[in-house]
Structure formats: C-alpha cells, structure tokens
Amino acid sequence: MSTSLHHRAVEHLGSRIVGGALPTGHVMLAEQLESELRVSRSVVREAVRVLQSLGLVETIKRVGIRVLPAHRWNPYDPLVIRWRLAGEGRGAQLRSLAELRSAVEPAAAELAALNAPQELREELVRISLAMRDAGRAGEMPLFLELDIRFHALLLSGSGNEMFANLIGQVAETLTGRTVHGLMPDHPKEAALQWHIDVARAIADGDGEKAREASSNIMREAIADLSPSWEDQPRVFVPVERKQS
Amino acid sequence: MSTSLHHRAVEHLGSRIVGGALPTGHVMLAEQLESELRVSRSVVREAVRVLQSLGLVETIKRVGIRVLPAHRWNPYDPLVIRWRLAGEGRGAQLRSLAELRSAVEPAAAELAALNAPQELREELVRISLAMRDAGRAGEMPLFLELDIRFHALLLSGSGNEMFANLIGQVAETLTGRTVHGLMPDHPKEAALQWHIDVARAIADGDGEKAREASSNIMREAIADLSPSWEDQPRVFVPVERKQS
DNA sequence: TGACACCGATGTGTGCTGACATCAAAACTC
DNA sequence: GAGTTTTGATGTCAGCACACATCGGTGTCA
C-alpha cells in the first residue's frame, strides 16, 4: 500500500502489456482505464505518458491508447526488462541479456585494463582471490555477492557509462543462475582462475589478456545458462527503410 | 507548433538537465515550472513523470523536483542519447556508442551467421557488393544509405532484440561520421572488402569468420571517429554495495 | 538555565474533478 | 467520389482536498 497510485497504474498496465495479456494493436480508452484501475484521470494519464516514453503504447486522437508491437519497446529499460523476466518472455530476455553481456564484458575488461583507476584494479584482484576462497569453501551466498561485485567493478572500471549501466542486469542474471539451480555446488576451478586472470591482467594494464580471460568466463556463463532458454524462438525485427 | 505542450515540456526540461544547465541536485518547484513554461500543472506533472522514468529527476514531498546525478540517467533511452549528443556530452556519448557498437556488432555478426533467415543473408551480400560499387565510384550519399542498411540488417539478423535496438544509434554515428567530415572521399578498399567478408561469412554460416571480419570494421570505425572525443575525461560511476 | 521531546504550522507533491479546446476519423451531403 | 459536417476521443486548464515530511515553537525535565 506504500506505493503510489501512479506507480501501481504503470506496473499494472506495463506488466499486462509486456506479459502479453494486452496484445499488439489492442486499443484502450482512458475512461475505461479509470474505472478498471479505480483511479482518476490524472493517474491514468500520467501512467500512459510513462508507458508512451517506454514505447509500449501510443495515443491517437479519436482512437484511444494503442499497444505497440514488441519491437518498439525499449529493451534496455529496467521496467521493461523486469516485466519480461516476470512473464512468458523470460527465456528470450535471459538469452538477450546473456548475449549482450557476453559481447560487452570482454570489451569492458579491455577498457578497464587501459583506463581504470588504480584503486579499482587492486580491489578487483582482492575480490577475485576472495572469490576463489569462497568458491573452494562452497560458501555460495558469499561467492554470489563477490561475483556480483566483481562484475560490477569490471563494468564500472571500463569508464563507459553504457557498460556500467548494465550492472543491474548482470546482477540479475548472476542471482538467477544461483537461485534457479543452474550453478554447481562448487564453482569450477577454471572459472575461479579466469576471474583472477582478468583481475591480474587489468592490474597489469594488459587489455588483450583481460579480454581473452573475460571471454572465457562469458563462454562458461552462456553454457551454464543456455538450458533456460532452450527452444525459445528468435524474433527478427523488420528493418525500416528510412530513419526519422 | 505541431508538437504538443507535453512534448515541448519534456524536451525543454530534459535538454536543460542533460545539457548541464540544471546541475545535479538542483531543485525545482512544480509551480515554478508552470510559470516558466507557461503551461498548466497537468502538463508539468506529466512531463516530470516521464523524466522521472528516465532517471533524470526525483520528486520529494515537501522539497520539490530534484535533478539526479548523471549516472542515474538511463543511458540507453533515445531521448537521453539525443540530448547528450546535442549538448556538451557529445564527445563522451559518441565514444560510449562507438565502444558499445564495437562490442556488439562482432557478436551480432556471429549470431547472424548462426541464426539469420536465408533472405536476410542474401540481401546482406547484395548490399555489401553495392557498397563496394558505390564506394569505388565515390557516391557517398548512396554509400552512407547502404552502409546504414547493412549494419541494420546485421544487427537485426542476430535475432537479439537488444542488439537490434541499437540500429538507430548506429545510424546516428554513421551519419555523423560522414556529416562531420571524418570520412575520406572514398572509403578504404579494405573496409569495403571487410563488409563483403562479413556478408559472405554470414551467408556461409561461418560465425567465427563473420565475427573476425566485423571486428576489423569496428577497429577501423573507432580509428576514424576517435578524434571527435579526444581529451574527453572518462567517468567511473561508483558501485553500490547493495542492490534493491 | 539549558537540553530534549513533543506537536502543530507550513509547504509541497499526490490525487480528484468539471470544463473547454483540439483534432482526426467517420458519417454525411452533394 | 470529393468535399463538408459531425462526433468522440485525447489534450489542456484551473481549482480543490489530502497526505506527509520538515521546520520551528512550546513545554517538560534535568
């Protein structure tokens, strides 16, 4: 009950659209939403405006509020990602995130090796060693926490704010991997060593080596996670001929 | 005058925040914005809600509307990107986009080689050959159009909607490179060949080769563009200890 | 006399409502 | 079939009541 009406309205509509309950092209009327959500016009209108900025709906005069096709949604918005992870798009969303992460992290590692501040490099080494200890001891909750922090520091250390912004999504996938039992009781020894390799390469300013070691981690992560999106069909969004 | 008041309000506030005219921590009052923008409360409130969803501001009772630090902004939102490109963050934004693209496109090429529909592969080959002809003939407007379409198809063909969503940004950087004179009169012969290599590798389903060739294109693109962000300082966003 | 807890005034976002403006789809007229 | 009118939806405005965090004054206690 602590959440505002606005927040609830956005949540309700957004999750139903992304979850597929409101199909593409479905038209709603503002008045109808008022009675459905039991809120006033202002709340509905402000919620619709937010959903509009996320690319989930468009408003057309004399027609109403229309649900836009999925390829118009902003796939990088935290709300959209959360709704997809909660609904039937979960598998496809996990795959997208994993592939994005696989592409970005090696690049981030290379940039971190070239640019990261000294203190960050040192902490990265410390954490990679702590991960090894926690991993060997089978202390998985601690390991997860260190793992998240390791990758957060790595992305942050790249000095690229678009990379750094993926921290939340990466934490989500790491947590999900543990929670959904896709993680062995003990992390593989090779994975622990790769983390140390990444950290040491960054500390040494060796971009090439950092990227290589990070790629190994990513390959392993994809292999661990891929069962969760088996048989998810890929969608190929159309390419428009003109840009605005 | 065709744009709505809402649109104008979002634009006005967003560009001033991202452009740096309204510094982090700056507090505004809704009432003050009404008179400043000469619009009613509804418009101000709906605009603020949108900016809130982009992470640009937060609203606090009894205090007002506060500008959030840049690392809270959603760096993937098209509006935020546009405002950054228009303002003083232009250099840093171009670098971020170029680095992201360099990370993503080789991965997208590899995925496209494994997953893209047949027709898309064929069009990719056709376009790469047309690019070579247009490039050798020095028909730069046509070359730019083909270049954009090539990379759009590549990203789309990956079957990853997060990759595909970068089409707009990539088009932006390609256009910018040409407009700002960072492009030679004739594209380098090697670059033309790399595009053909990428297309052929995708057509042959050779993911490894597609990624390699794409990496070459990216290295070249970074080299062309890097003058535009010389001396731009990198920012390292803090890593929070806890996640919500 | 001073320190501290309490409590009400104040100001600001949140939410509600009625009215009018605007504009494009749909119906109508010629 | 082309042009015009009607209609119905969003867009915009203005006023009000409410919730609640902050501030400052008041009272109590040491």
Q: Is the pLDDT of residue B243 over 60?
A: no
Query: By mean pLDDT, which of A142-146, A192-196, B171-175 is the weakest?
Result: B171-175
For chain A, which residues make up each domain, given as ranges? 5-72, 90-229
> Quick one: which H or E segment has residue A105?
helix A90-115
Instruction: Say which residue the tokens 């992290």 belong to.
Output: A105
**pLDDT score recorded for residue B178:** 86
Is residue B244 very low, low, confident or very high in pLDDT (cuts 50, 70, 90)?
very low
Question: Do residues B12 and B52 lie in contact, with contact meaning Cβ atoms separated by under 8 Å?
Answer: no
Please give, rounded to a whole number of angstroms, the shortest distance from the CA of B23 to a CA of chain A: 18
Distance B17 CA to C23 C1' (A): 32
Please, are residues A51 and A14 in contact by the beta-carbon 8 Å criterion?
Answer: yes
What pLDDT shows up at residue A241? 58
pLDDT (average), residues A8-24:
95
Grade residue B177 by pLDDT with cuts at 50, 70 and 90. confident
Q: Would you state the pLDDT for residue A243?
A: 38
CATH class as words, domain B89-229: mainly alpha
In whole angstroms, D19 C1' to B193 CA is: 66
Tens of pLDDT, residues B70-87: 999 999 999 999 999 998
Report the pLDDT averaged over residues A69-91. Answer: 93
Structural tokens at position A44: 């509905």
pLDDT in tens, A104-130: 999 999 999 999 999 999 999 999 999
| SS3 state at A92 | helix
CATH number for A90-229: choose from 1.20.120.530, 3.40.190.290, 3.20.20.140, 2.40.50.660: 1.20.120.530
Q: Which of B50, B77, B103 sits opposite A49 (nearest CB)?
A: B50
Question: Of B59-63, B137-141, B153-157, B160-164, which range is least confident?
Answer: B59-63
The DSSP symbol for B229 reads: G
Q: Is the confidence at residue B222, as pLDDT, over 70?
A: yes
CB spacing of B168 vs A243 below 8 angstroms: yes
pLDDT for A20 equals 93
- The two three-digit tokens of residue B178, written as one number: 């040409």
Q: What residues pair up with A67 in beta bridges, in sequence order?
A: A57
Residue pLDDT, tens place only, A44-57: 999 999 999 999 99
> What's residue B50's pLDDT?
95
Contacts of A111 in chain B (CB under 8 A): 99
> Exposure string (b/e) for A136-162, b if CB count within 10 Å is 16 or more?
eeeebeebbbbbbbbbbbbbbbbbbbb
Asked whether the predicted pLDDT for residue A64 surpasses 80, the reply is yes
Angle at A166 between CA A128 and CA A75, to 5 degrees: 150
**For B15-53, what is each residue's pLDDT tens digit?**
999 999 999 999 999 999 999 999 999 999 999 999 999
The answer to whether the Cβ–Cβ distance between A6 and B78 falls below 8 Å is no
B183 or A41, higher pLDDT: A41
Chain A residues with CB under 8 Å of B69 CB are none
> Which of the four pLDDT bands, split at 50, 70 and 90, describes residue A179?
confident
Contact A103/B99, CB-based, under 8 Å? no
Q: Indicate whether B240 pLDDT > 80.
A: no
Residues B92-121: pLDDT tens digits?
A: 999 999 999 999 999 999 999 999 999 999
Distance A70 CA to D30 C1' (A): 68
Q: Which residues of A touch B234 (CB under 8 A)?
A: 115, 159-160
pLDDT for res A2: 63
- Which of A81-95, A168-182, B59-73 shows the lowest per-residue confidence on average (mean pLDDT)? A168-182
List the single range of A80-89, A224-233, B137-146 with lowest mean pLDDT. Answer: A224-233
Domains B5-72 and B89-229 agree in fold: no
Is B179 in a helix, a strand, or coil? helix
Asked if A78's CB is within 8 angstroms of B53's CB, the reply is no
Q: Domain spanning B5-72 has what CATH number?
A: 1.10.10.10
Q: Are B86 and B19 in contact (CB under 8 A)?
A: yes
Distance CA(A185)–CA(A135), nearest Å, equals 9
